[in-house]
Amino acid sequence: MGSGPEFDYCVVIDDDDDILMASRLLLRRLFTDVATVRSPDEALPLVEARTPDVVLLDANFARGATDAAEGLAWLEKLLGVDPEMVVVMITAHAGVQVAVAAMKRGATDFVSKPWSNDKLLATVRTAASLRRSRNAVAVKGTAPVSAASVAAGTALLGHSPAMARVHSLISRAAPTEANVLVLGENGTGKELVARELHRQSLRADQVMLTVDLGAVSEDLIDSELFGHVKGAFTDARTDRVGRIQAADGGTLFLDEIGNLPLRLQPKLLTVLEQRQVTPVGANKPVPVNIRVIAATNLPPEKLRDENHFRQDLLFRLNTVEIDLPPLRERLEDVPELIEHYLDHYAKRYGRPHPQLSAAARAGLLGHDWPGNVRALRHALERAVILARDVPLEPEDFALVSSAPRIAPSAVVAPRPPDDLNLERVERRLVEEALRKHGYNISLAAHELGLSRAALYRRMEKHGL
pLDDT mean over 273-298: 90
State residue 278's pLDDT score. 87
State residue 433's pLDDT score. 84
Share of the chain above pLDDT 90, in %: 31
Res. 282 pLDDT band, cuts 50 70 90: confident
Between 154 and 57, name the one with better pLDDT. 57
The winner for highest mean pLDDT among 60-64, 203-207, 315-319 is 315-319
DSSP state of 159: -
β-bridge partners, 254: 211, 294
* pLDDT digit string, tens, across residues 419-448: 667 777 888 888 888 877 766 676 777 778
Q: Cα separations (Å) of 290 from 67, 153, 340?
A: 24, 23, 34
pLDDT at 395 over 70: yes
* pLDDT digit string, tens, across residues 30-51: 899 999 999 999 999 999 888 8
The answer to whether 305 touches 164, Cβ cutoff 8 Å, is no
Q: 416, 415, 442, 444: which is closest to 431 by C-alpha?
A: 444
Q: Please, what is the average pLDDT of the chain? A: 81
Structural domains of the chain, ranges and CATH numbers in brackets: 7-136 (3.40.50.2300), 161-325 (3.40.50.300), 328-397 (1.10.8.60), 422-462 (1.10.10)
pLDDT at 412 over 80: no
State residue 53's pLDDT score. 92
State residue 202's pLDDT score. 92
State residue 120's pLDDT score. 84
Which residues are CB-contacts of 375 (< 8 A; sequence separation ≥ 6)?
187, 369, 435, 439
What's the rounded Cα separation, in Å, for the pair 133 and 54?
13
Res. 134 pLDDT band, cuts 50 70 90: low
Q: pTM value?
A: 0.62
Query: Is the dihedral angle over the CA atoms 439, 443, 449, 450 positive or is it negative?
Result: positive
Strand order in 251-255's β-sheet? Answer: 208-212, 251-255, 291-296, 180-183, 320-323
pLDDT mean over 72-81: 89
Classify the phi-psi angles of 277: left when phi > 0, otherwise alpha if psi is within -120 to 50, otherwise beta: beta
Res. 79 pLDDT band, cuts 50 70 90: confident
What's the rounded Cα separation, in Å, for the pair 19 and 90?
10
State residue 403's pLDDT score. 40
pLDDT at 381 over 50: yes
Q: 9, 328, 85, 340: which is closest to 192 by C-alpha?
A: 340
State residue 145's pLDDT score. 36
Res. 140 pLDDT band, cuts 50 70 90: very low
* pLDDT digit string, tens, across residues 169-200: 999 999 999 999 999 998 899 989 999 999 99
State residue 441's pLDDT score. 72
State residue 181's pLDDT score. 96
The winner for highest mean pLDDT among 11-15, 47-51, 138-142 is 11-15
3-state secondary structure string across 231-291: CCCCCCCCCECCHHHHCCCCEEEEECHHHCCHHHHHHHHHHHHHCEECCECCCCCEECCCE
The answer to whether 239 touches 93, Cβ cutoff 8 Å, is yes
Amino acid at 362: A
Between 424 and 298, name the one with better pLDDT. 298
Q: Cα separations (Å) of 285 from 97, 103, 282, 437?
A: 15, 22, 8, 42
The winner for highest mean pLDDT among 65-69, 153-157, 310-314 is 310-314
pLDDT mean over 141-167: 63
State residue 67's pLDDT score. 75
* pLDDT digit string, tens, across residues 224-243: 888 877 776 766 666 677 88
pLDDT at 254 over 80: yes
* pLDDT digit string, tens, across residues 324-373: 999 999 999 999 999 999 988 888 788 888 889 998 898 898 888 988 99
Res. 146 pLDDT band, cuts 50 70 90: very low
pLDDT mean over 68-75: 88
State residue 402's pLDDT score. 45
What's the rounded Cα separation, in Å, for the pair 326 and 334?
12
Amino acid at 423: E
pLDDT at 313 over 60: yes
Share of the chain above pLDDT 70, in %: 83
State residue 36's pLDDT score. 95
State residue 132's pLDDT score. 73
Q: Comparing 9-23, 300-314, 432-446, which segment has the lowest mean pLDDT?
A: 432-446
